[in-house]
């Protein structure tokens, strides 16, 4: 897939662990880990909204596109 | 899930469990009662009618032989009730018929209980439910063919005791159960689609 997930970068900028972020977002650590590694089929808008709110970033900071 | 529909589901689940256990107790009790009663009488009565449509007027004497203790021919000559001397065959025939009938009912109830359990756990769209609905569908479809087979077997065995040169074994066809079975196959496919959608949904965060 050509979509790259930079969640770990934003998490490092905010100095927040996966466990804390999953607690704040009310998403399981498993799902968040799958999202971080780009192994999910898609992200819902409300999940993206919650991530951007917690990490004080924009969707473009978390999601990137490169040519295959 | 709404509290009211949850309650309804629990009630249905409870009712299914009660019916299940009652049927098992009834099956066991009926068998014991039947054996005790026939041992007491000294012969085996087949009260379940064997439907023989006789093409000529016959009398009871025609059936008299050492194995038949009494015969009742109903007015329309469409049914014969036989009291047969106790033997392994007569007992085996009764239990074979009872177990085959009970198998269908109990299997359907068993699968229904499992389906309702899964719905109660808020997981209706699981692959197991697809298989269960298909099993129920198959049982509905197979019911009449198996009944016909049973009638045929009963007929062959009874012919050993009763000489009926002019009888025709009757078979009734009711397509309702077959249609219900086919509809259930369609419903199973709908559940399968629901399962696939749920799996795809799980892959979204």
Q: Is B205 on the interface with A (CB under 8 A)?
A: yes
CA-to-CA separations, A14 to A11, A55, B45, in angstroms, rounded: 5, 6, 86
* Whole-number Å distance between alpha carbons of A48 and B32: 67
Chain B residue closest in CA terms to A40: B203
Say yes or no for a CB contact (<8 Å) between A40 and B200. Answer: no
* Smallest Cα distance from A1 to chain B, Å: 15
Percentage above 70 pLDDT, chain A? 99
Q: How many CB pairs under 8 A join A and B?
A: 19
Conformation bin of residue B111: beta by default, left when phi > 0, alpha when psi is -120 to 50: alpha
Please report residues of A whose CB lies closer than 8 A to that of B200.
41
Say yes or no for a CB contact (<8 Å) between B203 and A27. Answer: no
Q: Can you tell me whether residue B59 is helix, strand or coil? A: coil
Q: Is B200 on the interface with A (CB under 8 A)?
A: yes
* Whole-number Å distance between alpha carbons of B173 and B140: 13
Please report residues of B whose CB lies closer than 8 A to that of A32.
205
In terms of DSSP bridges, do strands A63-65 and B68-73 run parallel, antiparallel, or are they unpaired? unpaired
Q: What are phi and psi of B77, to 5 degrees?
A: 55, 30
Q: Is A63 on the interface with B (CB under 8 A)?
A: no
Q: What pLDDT is recorded for position B145?
A: 86
* Smallest Cα distance from A24 to chain B, Å: 15
**ipTM associated with this complex:** 0.76
Residue B117 has pLDDT above 60, yes or no: yes
Q: What pLDDT is recorded for position B8?
A: 83
Q: Is A34 on the interface with B (CB under 8 A)?
A: yes
* Smallest Cα distance from B124 to chain A, Å: 22
Where does the pLDDT of residue B48 fall: very low under 50, low under 70, confident under 90, or very high at 90 and above? very low
pLDDT (mean) for A17-38 = 91
What's the alpha-carbon Rg for chain B, to the nearest Å?
23
Of the candidate ranges A32-46, B20-34, B59-73, the one whose mean pLDDT is the lowest: B59-73
The structural domain count of chain A equals 1
Structure-token pair, residue B61: 């004497």
Of A27, A32, A41, the CB nearest to B203: A41
Q: What pLDDT is recorded for position B185?
A: 95
Asked if B157 and B89 count as a contact pair (C-beta separation under 8 A), the reply is: yes
* Smallest Cα distance from B178 to chain A, Å: 41
Alpha-helical segments (H) within chain B = 3-41, 88-120, 127-158, 175-202
Asked if A40 and B205 count as a contact pair (C-beta separation under 8 A), the reply is: yes
* Whole-number Å distance between alpha carbons of B161 and A36: 79
Where does the pLDDT of residue B57 fall: very low under 50, low under 70, confident under 90, or very high at 90 and above? low
CATH code: domain of residue A40: 1.10.260.40
Q: Is B1 on the interface with A (CB under 8 A)?
A: no
Domain span holding position A41: 3-65
Chain B residue closest in CA terms to A32: B205
**A1: β partners:** none
Smallest CA-to-CA distance from B31 within B77, B76, B79, B95 is with B95
């Amino acid at each position: 897939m050509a979509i790259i997930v930079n969640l770990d970068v934003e998490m490092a900028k905010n100095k927040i662990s996966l466990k804390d972020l999953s607690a704040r977002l009310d998403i399981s650590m498993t799902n968040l880990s799958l999202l971080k590694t780009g192994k999910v089929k898609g992200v819902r808008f409300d999940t993206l909204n919650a991530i951007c709110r917690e990490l004080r970033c924009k969707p473009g900071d978390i999601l990137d596109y490169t040519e295959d | 899930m709404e509290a009211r529909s949850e309650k309804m589901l629990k009630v249905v689940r409870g009712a299914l469990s009660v019916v299940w256990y009652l049927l098992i107790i009834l099956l066991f009790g009926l068998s014991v009662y039947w054996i005790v009663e026939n041992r007491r009488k000294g012969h085996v009565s087949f009260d379940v009618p064997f439907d023989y449509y006789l093409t000529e007027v016959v009398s009871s004497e025609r059936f008299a032989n050492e194995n038949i203790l009494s015969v009742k021919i109903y007015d329309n000559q469409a049914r014969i009730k036989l009291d047969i001397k106790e033997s392994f065959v007569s007992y085996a025939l009764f239990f074979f018929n009872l177990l085959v009938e009970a198998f269908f009912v109990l299997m359907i109830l068993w699968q229904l209980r499992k389906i309702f359990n899964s719905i109660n756990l808020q997981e209706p769209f699981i692959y197991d439910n697809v298989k269960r609905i298909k099993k129920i569908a198959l049982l509905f479809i197979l019911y009449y063919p198996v009944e016909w087979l049973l009638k045929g077997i009963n007929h062959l065995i009874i012919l050993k005791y009763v000489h009926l040169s002019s009888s025709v074994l009757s078979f009734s066809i009711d397509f309702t159960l077959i249609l219900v079975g086919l509809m259930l196959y369609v419903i199973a496919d709908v559940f399968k689609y629901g399962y696939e959608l749920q799996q795809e949904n799980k892959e979204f965060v």
